[in-house]
A and B are shown apart, each in its own frame.
Chain A
Amino acid sequence: MPKLTIDNREVEVPEGATVLVAARKLGIDIPALCYRDGCDVSTSCLACVVQIGEERRMVPSCATIAMDGMRVESETPLVHDARRSALELLLSDHLGDCLAPCQSGCPAGMDIPAMLRQIAAGQWRQVIRTVKREIAMPAVFGRICPAPCEKVCHRGGVDRAVSICLLKRFVADRDLRATPSYAPTCHPASGRRVAILGGGPCGLSAAYYLAQFGHRCVVFEADVIAGGRLLRDTTEEQLPRKILAAEVESIARLGVELRMGIAINSRKEFERLPKEYDAVLVATGAGGINQASDWGLPVGSRGLQIVGRTYQTCLPRVFAAGNAIRGHGLAIRSAADGKEVAAVIDQFLRDMPVAGGPEPFSTRMGRLQECEAATFASGTSIADRREPSDLLMGYAAEEAVEQAERCLGCDCRGLQNCLLRRYAIQYNASPRRYKAERRVYARDTSHREVIYEPGKCIACGLCIQIASAAGEPIGMTFVGRGFEVRVAVPLSGSMAEALTKAAADCVAACPTAALAWKVRGDDAGR
């Protein structure tokens, strides 16, 4: 039995076992995308490389036989670089959106496809949770958001974008009318207190999420009504004040203290806050920048200066977000800031490293060509985009269902299981590292249960092996060579013919979501 060391840890494996097996025995997580127990090694992805001894060469651990006395390095910067390069190369040729473009386009990053699917399925209890997980005041933004999400909606390339904003308003209004309306579960009280200066979109949003983290929030607002620029920049017609009041109330119900008509004016008053509170958030909007500057907060070209993505100012315990740092930005951007700074302040209050939320990882397809949009739309609802029949009331439930069904479902079905995504995040691999020409989107939906998107295939060949071993009469094969190589059904056949019995095994083996179940898992858990 050969005995070897991996990262200076000794391990003994049976004769003929690979380095990968040895590493797994030690609990070392080597990213092996194309490897599967029971299948022939294909040494394709090269994400599993390791270094043997002093050799400059990198070898795939999945195909390197463990030898007695071998010294293997798995976690050196050089090895990580090589793995990252392999992952970045795979990503550069990965045609698909992890997150749907609407979600990437939403400043708050709302999981719009999940919302639309839940509306279509009438899952009312789940859908409000999906919406409010990212947007504290959806009834407000359902009315005033300029909807950047709809501008990038792939359905727009087919006919017109899905009416995402109106559907969000529908979900929110429906909840406001319900009794009891949705209330998020809050963590037990932490005993920490946060002072929030400004009761606009940023401050209110921050309070909503900080309260859920269990922190006690006090919002100081100079005006007598909460809302900040939501009040100043909109008319009653655009945003009925009672809707705003209702959503502010839903925030207050989480135990947030709103001190209206209280302005922090002097530097002295401001400087007292960090002593009384565990954290202070400056969310006083664009109009508060000058004043904050007087308090000693440095100002940059747009607004108050913060450190990286952490929303921390140079003063201890003092954070800033929203238009106070941006000068001008959409209200929804400020609301998103509020949510993000809440997470940061929470990290700070729990004595964790303050890192800010990571940029959500997503590969991006960009704009679709006309033919691609048609491919995408095939088999989806042909309904037109329609405004609510009663403009004041918004969509009726059946209208909402019909409109939600127009969604093309551009988000990836494999978000939970995709090894490429998982390791790309782990190795900090960027999908945009290499400028690359992209392929034309295609897919095969002929199979009853399985969808095949060749643009997401990393050419590992596992499905080919599995189909062949299962005795599929037609099966799958590699077609072409080199960069043009694709996994396809031989003789121009379809997936319906190719996978008559091995579909489930192939989907389970696929390291990305090139082969995936058509019907998605439950969105509620996402």
Chain B
Amino acid sequence: MVEPDLAFVDEAVARIGREREAVLPLLQAIQDHYRYVPQEAIARVCELTAIAAADIVGVATFYDQFRHRPVGRHIIRVCHGTACHVKGADVVQAAFERHLRIADGDDTDPEGEFTVQKVACLGCCTLAPVVQIGDRTYGHLSPSSVGDVLKDFLQQQKAGTKEQRRPETAVAEASHGEIRVGLGSCCIAQGSGQVYRAIEATLAESGASATLKRVGCVGMCHQTPMVQLRSAGKSEEKIFAKVNAESAGEIVLDYFRPRGLWKQLRYKASRWLDRLLTDEWHDTMVRHSLEVRDGPVCEFLGPQQHLATEYGGQLDPLDLEEYLRHDGFRALQRCLASMRPEQIIEEIHHSGLRGRGGAGYPTGLKWAKVRAASGGKKYVVCNGDEGDPGAFMDRMLLESFPYRIIEGMAIAARAVGAEEGFFYIRAEYPLAVERVNEALRKAREHGFLGERILGTEFGFELTIKQGAGAFVCGEETALLASIEGRRGMPRLRPPYPAEQGLWGRPTAVNNVETYTLVPWIVTHGAEAFRRTGRPDNAGTKVFALAGKVRRGGLIEVPMGVTLRQIVEQIGGGVADAPCRGMGTSGGPRRLKAIQIGGPSGGCIPAGLVDIPVDYDCLAEAGAIMGSGGLVVLDDRDCMVDIARYFLQFTQNQSCGKCTLCRIGTRRMLEMLERICGGHGEKKDLDDLEKLARTVQAGSICGLGRTAPNPVLSTLRHFREEYEAHIAGHCPAGKCKALISYRVTAECIGCTLCAQHCPVDAITATPYIVHRIDRAKCTRCDTCRQVCPRGAIVVESTGTVA
């Protein structure tokens, strides 16, 4: 290998710093530059700084983001979040590896073109299964679409089109109305960027007078890309869903007439010609229009109540003026002008706000402890290391409401007596980092951050620290270690960060959503917040609704709504099985369980859907509120597989410090793998349960103590499924070792399955019923998905294959 040129390292050290805290940013810069972290670069950093090699190596090998050998030119990140998992992420990954001829145990193709990486969650759960190649995101994949995706990516690369991340708001003079395009990460992944640019182009070309505006997440992820139109002076709006770049112009033109008759005619004529030539004809208006007042949108919005996501889908996330017009920073002003810090804390305490990160500790109490703690300097920290697979609330809030979070943190700082704060945002959320950065800049410019805020004595400075791919850093003591530039290892609490946090100083660590709610509470009053929700469970909770549900998305509901309301009313019930081949429906499916709280949570069976959603009721049912991931599972989902899936996740994310978590979760996983693989024994269930309880009772931190929850909750509610596996059956037909594929008499001999089979387990026999060679079959499910007749069935074999 060629010795890397280390001049960049010298430059990076000069730019970023030489202190211990600089280790992570330095490594990130090195990784960006070299596409991996060469040992020589680490050695050079040691030479240039006082940081010991042991410390840098310890950090560099702790975080997933850092790679220690060269990677391919493009990285394919295959999301293995919960929603992607239940929709077949593993077969998609296998398809990529097969397609690229990646050898077993390797991750890069022989040409060094692509590296396939498994990632915990890309936070685009409603598009599952999802992959990210370079900076493009592809959703709704199947093993058979892998080839097309790669082709498309390479074509785009050649064409040099780069996904534009930040289209600027185009303001038209004498606007006749407003066009809003949701531009959250998942919207962009679905093509909202192209839609935005298409509208921009149409407006410019046609001269239609409307203001085009980028807005944050609308929440209706199942309908993206989404365009909202509003005429000036009217309150009613029109929503267009699943818009594509081609139809976007049509919609806009139909709503906002271009100025000048000649221009109109000329434009229409040219478009008409285009259509003739390209044979494209979209009945856009009929297909895409959604009525807000009734129908699915109304149901979707029905029980929702937007506090944290107030003005969601209406505001340009980075338009400070607009934020101010909507009472932005009014709460901070009130706190500075007319409230003593103790009063702020009292107000928050009285509101009943509990930490939205999952554990539900009363926020007011936490702040009071920080305030009361002795020792001069104090900090506030925003925990934006949302790592739960199946959760993307914090990403959406950070992307859509950066000013509101900054305001919340400033109020917290004022309340606890801190002058410095940190955002800790995971590396997988580049758009969030970008927007918060920009928002910080603008807030600073306008005097909402820095010294003497709003002309008072109060000063507050905020900085972003980026994570580097370690789920455990969502645990507050690990997060603080990470900010300090160390391995993200949690430590035993007490002492809590409120007493000894960042660099040993009292620190208020709160979740993104918690801070987002603070300005609302100050503005509307604690009483108003208290009235929302239930006693001891005040306010609302944001959930990421995904999985086998018709309408997935980002929702905010008052505490106490039932799971049934969420799944049936908001989500529209369990989705049918995906369409197979040309247009045949996969048939109706039945709700089996709701996974709530991600890897720390549990599965609530269909029989308990009428329990109200709040901290206490969920805990009673064996789940937890968690950060808000809510994945709907149907009868095709295997609960043992779900438990195995989550345990694999936590096991992989364990920091490795304490025995119970480091080895205990591994042994639990091995037991579950034996059970899923058909090698389980009766006594494994008791052993598994006993070990799970031991890990739960004795682990050092929250990750380890909650890691057994998915196992314990499924053992509690679905023990018969475990027993079936031990008897050699997977009732849901999911566990590969226990199922086989068979072609039924429905087969018309179209040979599609044979053409798509990646391992030649099916011989093409035109017009004759096909057969699957079970010895060759890898159970990748491709044949079943491409069969136009639904003639391929999954059977539980009853014996270990």
Contact = CB atoms under 8 A, between A and B. Distances in A.
A148 to B, nearest CB: 30
Contacts of B698: 46, 49, 57-58, 82, 85-86
A46 B654 CA distance: 15
B662 A477 contact: no
Contacts of A436: 666-667, 670
A16 B684 CA distance: 43
Interface in A63-118: 63-65, 81-82, 85-86, 89-90, 92-93
Nearest to A78: B697
Interface string B497-521: 0000000000000000000000000
Interface string B459-500: 000000000001000000000000000010001101000000
B656 A481 contact: yes
B694 A82 contact: yes
A46 B659 contact: yes
A44 B657 contact: yes
Nearest to B656: A485
B359 interface: no
A479 B663 contact: no
Interface string A450-482: 000000001100001001100000111111111
Given A436-B667, A479-B61, A482-B653, A490 B660 contact: no
B660 A42 contact: no
Interface stretch (B50-58, B132-140, B575-583): B50-58
Given A86-B698, A477-B58, A43 B654 contact: no
Contacts of A480: 61-62, 656
B794 interface: no
A482 B652 contact: yes
A435 B670 contact: yes
Contacts of A57: 697-698, 705
Nearest to A459: B656
A478 B58 contact: yes
A466 to B, nearest CB: 12
A491 interface: yes
B697 A482 contact: no
B61 A481 contact: yes
A65 B493 CA distance: 11
A210 interface: no
Most B CB contacts (10 A, CB to CB) among A49, A81, A437, A483 go to A483
Interface string B56-89: 1110011100000000000000000000000000
Contacts of B674: 435
Contacts of B658: 43-46
A368 interface: no
A437 B43 CA distance: 35
B363 interface: no
A395 to B, nearest CB: 46
A463 to B, nearest CB: 11
A59 B491 CA distance: 12
A89 B492 contact: no
Contact of A46 (B52, B660, B667): B660
Interface in B683-730: 691, 694, 697-700, 705
A89 B664 contact: yes
B39 interface: yes
A388 interface: no
Nearest to A67: B494
B694 A85 contact: yes
Contacts of A474: 53-54
Contact of B659 (A56, A89, A434, A467): A89
Nearest to B64: A481
B660 A89 contact: yes
Contacts of A89: 659-660, 663-664, 667
A484 interface: yes
B651 interface: yes
B657 A43 contact: yes
B532 to A, nearest CB: 33
Nearest to A458: B659
B651 A483 contact: yes
Nearest to B58: A477
A60 interface: yes
Contacts of A58: 697-698
Contact of A56 (B663, B665, B697): B697
B697 A491 contact: no
Contacts of A93: 663, 666
Given A459-B662, A481-B470, A491 B43 contact: yes
A482 B700 contact: no
B657 A42 contact: yes
A197 B537 CA distance: 80
B660 A491 contact: no
Contact of A60 (B43, B492, B654, B655): B492
A89 B659 CA distance: 7
A492 interface: yes
Interface in B183-198: none
Contact of B57 (A42, A479, A481): A479
A476 B58 CA distance: 9
Interface string B774-798: 0000000000000000000000000
A491 B43 CA distance: 8
Contacts of B654: 481-483
Given A89-B664, A89-B667, A485-B662, A476 B54 contact: yes
Nearest to B487: A478
A464 B657 CA distance: 14
Nearest to B652: A482
A509 B579 CA distance: 63
A481 B655 contact: yes
A492 B53 CA distance: 11
B667 A482 contact: no
A43 B664 contact: no
Contacts of A491: 39, 42-43, 53, 57
B54 A477 contact: yes
B656 A482 contact: yes
B57 A437 contact: no
A460 to B, nearest CB: 10
A505 to B, nearest CB: 16
Given A58-B698, A437-B670, A483-B663, A85 B61 contact: no
A490 B45 CA distance: 13
Contacts of A476: 54
Interface string A12-44: 000000000000000000000000000000111
B556 to A, nearest CB: 33
Given A44-B658, A46-B658, A93-B663, A60 B700 contact: yes
A232 to B, nearest CB: 45
Contact of B54 (A60, A65, A490): A490
B349 to A, nearest CB: 26
21 contacts: A44-B657, A45-B658, A46-B658, A46-B700, A57-B705, A60-B492, A86-B698, A89-B667, A92-B667, A434-B670, A437-B670, A459-B656, A468-B54, A477-B55, A478-B58, A480-B656, A482-B655, A482-B662, A483-B654, A483-B666, A491-B57
The 10 closest A-B pairs by CB, nearest first: A485-B656, A477-B54, A490-B57, A482-B654, A58-B698, A89-B663, A490-B53, A477-B58, A482-B656, A85-B694
Interface of B: 39, 42-43, 52-58, 61-63, 470, 487, 491-492, 494, 651-660, 662-667, 670, 674, 691, 694, 697-700, 705
Given A82-B694, A479-B57, A490-B42, 4 more contacts: A60-B492, A86-B659, A437-B670, A481-B470
